[in-house]
Structure 1
Amino acid sequence: MAALVAGLPLWGIPSNAAFEPRTNAAAMPRNDVETLLWPSDAAGPRADQRGVVLNPADLRDRIAVVAFVAPDCSIVCVTRTLDLDRVAKALPETIRDRAVFLAVSLDGATAGGGVTALRTFVDGTVGAQTRLRFLAGDAAWTAAITAALRYPAGSLPEPPPQVLVFDRRGGIAMSYGGDPVDRPRLERDIPLLDSFAQGLDAPTPGSAPL
């Protein structure tokens, strides 16, 4: 598998933030994307801009694309959001429902009443019918994500210029720089990644168990 993966065009371009994936499956039974979105057992439900709650079950056996935004960040948030919206719409129909696009706001003030500001940003940028789901977090979630990404808190509200893609088993598969978003590469890689039904870390047939 390692040799095969090395030959695939999956691995993204460098950025100044790096997601720390899980390293001990026994100590961290959740997968990478769940750990990012629900960093603690006390983490509450995540509702998107439409008020629809996102659950871990919604991400299982799906490719998850996660980017970061803030309603009051610079024009890069607008262009990143527009690019991801175009990627989501451009996927072949057979793959379109296999990928979940999440834009996480790292402005802790958007939790609660500030969700209105996030919804205004969404509607004014990509419209209410976008396939992207925008999630607003509180200060504790923002702190957990910036720590996991090794992103300087002092750089906020400019969010990390990073797009993370997780495989069908929730493992971190690739990390792209997000300024600009490499749309052709994402449109090519998402269907390819979906073909790995057991995720990129699955053992090859006949391999010895660890």
Structure 2
Amino acid sequence: MWPALKTIAALAITLPLWGFPSTAQVEPRTIPAASRSDLDTLLWPTMDSGRRIDQRGAALRPADLRDRIAVVAFVAPDCSIVCVTRLLDLDRVAKALPGAAHDRAVFLAVSLAGTGGNGTALRAFVDGTVGTGTRLRVLSGDADWTAAIAAMLRYPAALLPEPPPQVLVFDRRGGMAMSYGGDPVDRPRLERDIPLLDSFAGGLDAAPARESQPL
């Protein structure tokens, strides 16, 4: 087994400790398991899930995440300095990634504060924290989505709207790959692991292409 594959496999094996259930446990029976990824299930838990709109008013669609490394964290505009530093750290990681990983990675932050349609407040929070040019897309969730996420992560509802202290990373096929603590964000590890994960073009189910070796 290649060293890179060993690293990713070891990370994937630890995921159940974080309480993130398999896709089959959370997606509706009316949706074939093969047609939805872990990332789809997190962002659109059911077939009738509402539109996901970011802080700029742009809709997020499943097609926007195809063949991308997706990094998902959780914030709330009034959750304390922790959410401010979390956004700042993720913004720095997004800017620091090299080459293809920089272009392929998508950074999402889900607000569980119940801001709903108050896009003005969400945009003011994001722009005031990381600026208008950030690559982060911050999405506000309604009560149903917040409840679904809390259930998936086994996060106590009594702690809401304080967001879960997790950073989730999904491979290029939308499979759950890695989970990190978010207090604080481990920037060096993310900056190292995202390019490594990007080398798995077929997701963690397929080994990365081996470079040809000179004879």
Q: TM-score range by the shorter chain?
A: 0.7 to 0.9
User: What TM-score does the superposition give when structure 2 sets the normalisation length?
Assistant: 0.86
Aligned residue in 2 for 1:68: 74
Please tell me the residue identity of whatever aligns with 1:82.
L
Task: Write the deviation string for residues 111-157 of structure 1: whole angstroms up to 9, x where unpaired.
Answer: 11x22221111011001110000001100000000000000111112
1: CA distance between counterparts of 2:52 and 2:152?
A: 18
Gaps in structure 2 of 5+ consecutive residues:
210-215
2: CA distance between counterparts of 1:191 and 1:10?
A: 16
Gaps in structure 1 of 5+ consecutive residues:
206-210
1:97 match: secondary structure: helix
2:169 match: secondary structure: strand
**Deviation at residue 4 of structure 1 after TM alignment:** 6.3
Structure (1/2) with the larger helix percentage:
2
Task: Identify which of 146, 150, 155 aligns with 1:146.
Answer: 150
1: CA distance between counterparts of 2:201 and 2:10?
A: 15
The answer to which structure, 1 or 2, has the higher relative contact order (CA under 8 A, 6+ apart) is 1
Aligned residue in 2 for 1:208: none
Please tell me the residue identity of whatever aligns with 1:111.
G
Aligned residue in 2 for 1:20: 21
2: CA distance between counterparts of 1:201 and 1:111?
A: 36
Task: Identify which of 128, 131, 155 aligns with 2:132.
Answer: 128
1:190 match: secondary structure: helix
Structure 1 residues 180 and 15: CA distance shift in structure 2, 3 A: farther
Q: In the alignment, is the contact (CA less than 8 A) between 1:166 and 1:174 conserved in 2?
A: yes
Question: Which region of structure 1 is more displaced relative to structure 2, 87-96 or 17-26?
Answer: 17-26
Structure 1 residues 49 and 15: CA distance shift in structure 2, 3 A: farther
Structure 1 residues 204 and 161: CA distance shift in structure 2, 3 A: closer
1: CA distance between counterparts of 2:10 and 2:64?
A: 23
Q: Work out the percentage of aligned pairs sharing the same amino acid.
A: 69
**Residues 165-176 of structure 1 aligned to structure 2 (within 5 Å):** 165-176=169-180
Aligned residue in 2 for 1:86: 92
Q: In the alignment, is the contact (CA less than 8 A) between 1:71 and 1:121 conserved in 2?
A: yes
Aligned residue in 2 for 1:11: 11
Aligned residue in 2 for 1:103: 109
Please tell me the residue identity of whatever aligns with 1:63.
I
**Deviation at residue 198 of structure 1 after TM alignment:** 0.3
2: CA distance between counterparts of 1:135 and 1:27?
A: 26
1:101 match: secondary structure: strand
**Deviation at residue 74 of structure 1 after TM alignment:** 1.2
Figure out how many residues of one structure are paired with residues of the other and give that number.
203
List structure 1 runs of 4+ shifted beyond 3 angstroms.
1-10, 12-17, 23-27
2: CA distance between counterparts of 1:10 and 1:47?
A: 34
Please tell me the residue identity of whatever aligns with 1:22.
T
Please tell me the residue identity of whatever aligns with 1:102.
L
1:81 match: secondary structure: helix
Q: In the alignment, is the contact (CA less than 8 A) between 2:15 and 2:178 conserved in 1?
A: no
Aligned residue in 1 for 2:213: none
